[in-house]
Structure 1
């Protein structure tokens, strides 16, 4: 009787464990494609920094000052990296003498380091030393080509008037610009 009781107790304890182990192995699925997709994505930043100020220099001269409340650096497949500024950023461009030539600010920006390409989005404002101001929701800065551009609606305020376009292109200092499908209002002074 004691042996029978021992066998029943063993059976009661071992059976759920065996069933659990079998269910665990039966539920495992190793779809190689899914595993590769999950491991290929870099969803978390490898570097994150708050309240940053970065200077870009050429031959010891500060050309650009970048400020941002938050910077996240990601590395994608094939080692390509990008810097994301989810809380916005401010860029200030300087000439050889150290004077400010232009500024760009946006509520969101991303920089593709390997391409030298910045994308600024949401409440993008650019100004130049002539006091002209550009407003748009989307701006591309090609750092290596020293150009800024957009293929979306833009508004430029100047001393001569307000101009609108469905895109624009300019040098990175925003001193020489062209609008696509330009329209606007020109201020004319009357002679007395």
Structure 2
């Protein structure tokens, strides 16, 4: 996926904030304090964008839309290319027909572009197009392996006849059709004598 559009109402590079801070205190603080503030930029090379909307597309078709009140884009060697959402985010996926297929909200997120990993943490809610809802504290999207997984407890209320499930961790396909639950429990509905869904270990 590529970023086609980025609407940003304001951009606050850290270097501008630091320059303002240094100029405002230069007359009062000693050289040691000024040097310490100047070194923050090297330690945290980051651009901060407010009220962000990012459109992901492929072959001129919109695949996803990300919205966040704040996005931090890092430039230091350890985190270059990382985008962090400390104030939460909303990610909406669209199917081939252009209709919403699922949405994910969380209080924190980080996109690690070089690794192809997106992490959603704290109050993660996944809502599917059919109204099914999954709740967890951790959701990892692995773009290279085309799967979701998480090591934290997860619960699901399905509206498609699969019942209600809980587990201590899970692995899933991108559509949440095939979910492998670890220590899975819950109310399961049999469908077409196909047997039970995978409950994991």
TM-score (norm 2): 0.68
For residues 64-98 of structure 1, the C-alpha deviation after alignment (integer angstroms, 9 at most, x for no partner) is 11111100001232673210000101111111110
- Count of residue pairs brought into register by the alignment: 153
> Can you list the C-alpha shifts for 1:114-166, whole angstroms capped at 9, x where unaligned?
11111111000012223211100011011233211101100011134321001
Structure 2 match to 1:150: 150
CA contact (8 A) 2:44 2:76 kept: no
Q: Which residue of 1 aligns with 2:77?
A: 77
Structure showing greater Rg: 1
Calculate the TM-score normalised by the size of structure 1: 0.71
For 1:142 and 1:66, locate their aligned partners in 2 and report how far apart those are by CA, in whole Å: 17
**Aligned residues of 2:146 and 2:173 also touching (Cα < 8 A):** yes
Q: Deviation of residue 41 (structure 1)?
A: 6.0
Q: Is 1:63–2:60 an aligned residue pair?
A: no
- Cα deviation, residue 104, structure 1: 0.8
Distance 1:111 1:70 in 2: 13
User: Does the Cα contact within 8 Å between 2:45 and 2:75 map onto a contact in 1?
Assistant: no
- The aligned residue for residue 42 of structure 1 is 43
Q: Does the CA contact (< 8 Å) of 2:154 and 2:169 recur in 1?
A: yes
Instruction: State the SS of the aligned residue for 1:63.
Output: strand
Q: CA RMSD in A?
A: 2.5
Q: Distance in 1 between matches of 2:56 and 2:86?
A: 20
Offset at residue 185 of structure 1 (A): 2.6
Where does the alignment leave 5 or more consecutive residues of structure 1 unmatched?
A: 1-27, 29-37
Question: Hey, which of these two has a bigger chunk of helix by percent?
Answer: 1
Report what 1:20 is aligned to: none
2:171 pairs with 1:177 = no
Unaligned runs of 5+ in 2: 1-31, 33-38, 191-201
**Counterpart secondary structure, 1:93:** strand
